[in-house]
Amino acid sequence: MKMAVIKTGGKQYVVKAKDKIKVEKLNIAVGQKVKFDTLLIADGEKVEIGLPTLADKVEGTILRLDRSDKVRGVKYKPKTRQAKKFGHRQEFNEIEIIKI
């Protein structure tokens, strides 16, 4: 089975055809196709490594744009009884890999 290592959003992902992955938000509309830089392609017996990337691109389709679960944090200052709560929800795209 053919697999690849792609790079997007400052992170690397190991993918195969028809995989669904969650990546950092991309400024591309839902339903459109996107191509990723490929760092490595492996096929059972043969391995191609890019220096830094390969000419081949991995292609995927954006399925949805969503937000992750809320992460809550607290800033606290001792001796003054001062505390501030905050939350953050990171946006991400879910992508289905079409072909390698």
Q: What is the mean pLDDT of residues 45-67?
A: 92
What's the mean per-residue pLDDT of the chain?
93
Its domain, for residue 36, covers 2-99
Number of domains composing the chain: 1
pLDDT at 1 over 90: no
Please give the pLDDT value at position 35.
Answer: 94
* C-alpha to C-alpha distances, 22 to 13, 19, 51, 74, 81, nearest whole angstrom: 10, 10, 25, 27, 40
Residue 100's pLDDT is 87
Q: How far is CA 28 from CA 9, 31, 57, 60, 86, in A?
A: 13, 9, 17, 12, 29
- How do beta strands 46-49 and 11-16 pair? unpaired
CB 55 within 8 A of CB 75: no
For the entire predicted model, the pTM comes to 0.81
Give 21-52 pLDDT, tens digit per residue. Answer: 999 999 999 999 999 999 999 998 999 998 98
Q: Are 68 and 89 in contact (CB under 8 A)?
A: yes
- Determine what percent of the chain is predicted with pLDDT higher than 90: 84
The pLDDT of residue 12 is above 90: yes
